């Protein structure tokens, strides 16, 4: 992940788990970093398909804020009175220099995720405190709106060459959370796009074809996946970099560049697929879809596609009717009242027809 990327997992007392302890509990291995986590520490997340460990999830929460260095690796948020002490990191001269470097914005950031759900979303526990060097820098009461818990905290005014203690405590024993402290670089839209493309998650033509067959002609056959507009729901033009999320179950793609640029001005519900509303932090580029778009470009008229049960397709004119969007896709969206203005103004494009 870049030349200055250093992992801090080794600091966790020999164990790579968020609990930092060596136990005999069954271990689940992360498909991204191959580190193990205990079943008892992960709860339901242990059974999630496409599992990635809390450390990997925390690292990938915000593509505009790229993790350069782990200062405190993913750690369990403790309940008050558990007797577990704070975690520490050294705020070195080197890190301090990076934070103050002019050409790039660098910050020390605390992030938190909920472990019981499919993660990849910044969220603080409902009633929690973040204590840095003994001082409370953040308190979330249980009645705070969701908006407040979506912010990653920035640690500023740290003393160079000092040891910094960080403790995240929650009052209620409901969900399970993990936090981590990172040195991050703020990227420009072009850099964020380049970093995502560089990760090289690509569906080959053959895989793209199989995907069409799998999602379009499965038992929960969805008309959205058999006949659709090729236009990006964000730009209303043919996508240059057709992509969707790793969890998306629809054929329709959006343009990755337009999507990344849009997130910069979006404050809430960021990195949500404009087609289905699921989190898209690790977009996959679809070469099959790109080939179809390329073919459609040969004509001013062909902007729609119909897929056949074998994954093959034929192009249709812009005026041929499309089926209505299914309820299943609609329900993945947050209600309009919870959307930001930026998202709202784009909502008429979201279904794109
Ligand atoms: Zn553990
Ligand atoms: Zn991992
Ligand atoms: Zn989607």
The pLDDT of residue 127 is above 90: no
Which of the ligands is closest to the CA of residue 60? 2
Task: Report how far ligand 3's centroid is from the alpha carbon of 210 (Å).
Answer: 17
Please report which confidence band the pLDDT of residue 45 belongs to, taking 50, 70 and 90 as the band edges. confident
Please report which confidence band the pLDDT of residue 224 belongs to, taking 50, 70 and 90 as the band edges. low
Window from 180-189, 252-261, 309-318, 342-351 with minimum mean pLDDT: 342-351
The pLDDT of residue 199 is 87
Task: Report how far ligand 3's centroid is from the alpha carbon of 250 (Å).
Answer: 6
Task: Report how far ligand 3's centroid is from the alpha carbon of 58 (Å).
Answer: 21
The pLDDT of residue 341 is 40
CATH topology of domain 190-350: Herpes Virus-1 (3.30.40)
Q: For residue 130, give both structure tokens.
A: 């973040």
CA distance 280 to 288: 19
The pLDDT of residue 91 is 96
Task: Report how far ligand 1's centroid is from the alpha carbon of 301 (Å).
Answer: 57
Task: Report how far ligand 2's centroid is from the alpha carbon of 158 (Å).
Answer: 29
Which of the ligands is closest to the CA of residue 23? 1
Percentage of residues of the chain with pLDDT beyond 90? 42
Please report which confidence band the pLDDT of residue 295 belongs to, taking 50, 70 and 90 as the band edges. very high
Asked whether 146 and 264 are in contact (CB, 8 A), the reply is no
Task: Report how far ligand 3's centroid is from the alpha carbon of 293 (Å).
Answer: 18
The pLDDT of residue 313 is 92
Task: Report how far ligand 2's centroid is from the alpha carbon of 5 (Å).
Answer: 14
Task: Report how far ligand 2's centroid is from the alpha carbon of 165 (Å).
Answer: 24
Task: Report how far ligand 3's centroid is from the alpha carbon of 55 (Å).
Answer: 24
Task: Report how far ligand 2's centroid is from the alpha carbon of 25 (Å).
Answer: 18
Task: Report how far ligand 1's centroid is from the alpha carbon of 203 (Å).
Answer: 34
Counts of helices then strands in the chain (DSSP H, E): 9, 18
What pTM value is reported for the model? 0.77
Which of the ligands is closest to the CA of residue 46? 1
- Mean predicted lDDT score pLDDT of the chain: 81
Asked whether 279 and 291 are in contact (CB, 8 A), the reply is no
- Stated as kind and residue range, the H or E segment containing 76 is strand 65-76
Please report which confidence band the pLDDT of residue 256 belongs to, taking 50, 70 and 90 as the band edges. very high
Q: Rounded mean pLDDT of 182-198?
A: 94
CA distance 190 to 271: 16
**CATH architecture of residue range(s) 9-187:** Sandwich (2.60)
Our CA dihedral for 56, 165, 76, 277, rounded to 10 degrees, sits at: -50
Q: What is the pLDDT of residues 264-285, one digit of tens each?
A: 988 777 899 999 988 888 899 9
CA distance 313 to 290: 13
Task: Report how far ligand 3's centroid is from the alpha carbon of 205 (Å).
Answer: 19
Name the more confident of 345 and 34: 34
Task: Report how far ligand 3's centroid is from the alpha carbon of 343 (Å).
Answer: 15
Task: Report how far ligand 1's centroid is from the alpha carbon of 27 (Å).
Answer: 8
Task: Report how far ligand 3's centroid is from the alpha carbon of 197 (Å).
Answer: 18
Q: What are all long-range contacts of 340-344, with beta carbons under 8 Å and residues at least 24 apart?
A: 340/266, 340/267, 340/268, 340/269, 342/262, 342/265, 342/266, 342/267, 343/266, 343/268, 343/269, 343/272
Please report which confidence band the pLDDT of residue 102 belongs to, taking 50, 70 and 90 as the band edges. low
Please report which confidence band the pLDDT of residue 117 belongs to, taking 50, 70 and 90 as the band edges. low
The pLDDT of residue 247 is above 90: no
Task: Report how far ligand 3's centroid is from the alpha carbon of 185 (Å).
Answer: 27
The pLDDT of residue 122 is 86
Q: Rounded mean pLDDT of 53-73?
A: 93
The pLDDT of residue 105 is above 60: yes
What is the rounded radius of gyration, in angstroms, for the C-alpha atoms of the chain?
22
Task: Report how far ligand 2's centroid is from the alpha carbon of 55 (Å).
Answer: 6
The pLDDT of residue 55 is 94
Name the more confident of 287 and 29: 287
The pLDDT of residue 40 is above 60: yes
Asked whether 250 and 274 are in contact (CB, 8 A), the reply is no
Task: Report how far ligand 2's centroid is from the alpha carbon of 143 (Å).
Answer: 32
- Domain boundaries, given as residue ranges, for the chain: 9-187, 190-350
The pLDDT of residue 193 is 95
The pLDDT of residue 218 is above 60: no
Which of the ligands is closest to the CA of residue 233? 3
């Amino acid at each position: 992940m870049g030349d200055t990327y250093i992992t801090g997992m080794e600091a966790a007392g020999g164990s790579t788990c968020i609990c930092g302890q060596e136990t005999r509990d069954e271990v689940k291995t992360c498909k991204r970093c191959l580190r193990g986590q205990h079943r008892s520490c992960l709860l339901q997340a242990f059974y999630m398909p496409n599992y990635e460990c809390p450390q990997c999830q925390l690292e990938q929460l915000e593509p505009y804020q790229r993790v350069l260095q782990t200062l405190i690796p993913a750690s369990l948020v403790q309940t008050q009175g558990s007797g577990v002490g704070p975690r520490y990191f050294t705020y070195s001269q080197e890190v301090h220099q990076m934070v103050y470097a002019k050409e790039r914005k660098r910050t020390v950031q605390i992030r938190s995720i909920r472990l019981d759900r499919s993660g990849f979303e910044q969220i603080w526990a409902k009633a929690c405190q973040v204590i840095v060097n003994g001082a409370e820098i953040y308190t979330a009461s249980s009645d705070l709106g969701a908006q407040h818990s979506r912010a990653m905290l920035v640690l500023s005014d740290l003393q160079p060459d000092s040891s910094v203690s960080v403790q995240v405590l929650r009052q209620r024993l409901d969900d399970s959370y993990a936090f981590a402290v990172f040195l991050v670089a703020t990227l420009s839209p072009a850099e964020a796009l380049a970093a995502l493309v560089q990760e090289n998650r690509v569906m080959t033509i053959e895989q793209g074809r199989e995907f069409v067959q799998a999602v379009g002609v499965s038992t929960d056959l969805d008309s959205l996946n058999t006949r659709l507009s090729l236009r990006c729901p964000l730009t209303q033009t043919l996508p240059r970099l057709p992509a969707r999320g790793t969890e998306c179950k629809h054929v329709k793609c959006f343009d990755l560049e337009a999507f990344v640029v849009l997130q910069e001005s979006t404050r809430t519900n960021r990195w949500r697929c404009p087609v289905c509303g699921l989190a898209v932090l690790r977009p996959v580029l679809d070469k099959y879809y790109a080939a179809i778009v390329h073919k459609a470009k040969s004509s001013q008229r062909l902007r729609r596609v119909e897929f056949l049960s074998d994954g093959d397709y034929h192009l249709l004119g812009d005026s041929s009717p499309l089926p209505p969007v299914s309820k299943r896709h609609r329900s993945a969206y947050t209600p309009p009242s919870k959307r930001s203005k930026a998202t709202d103004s784009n909502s008429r494009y979201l279904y794109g027809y």
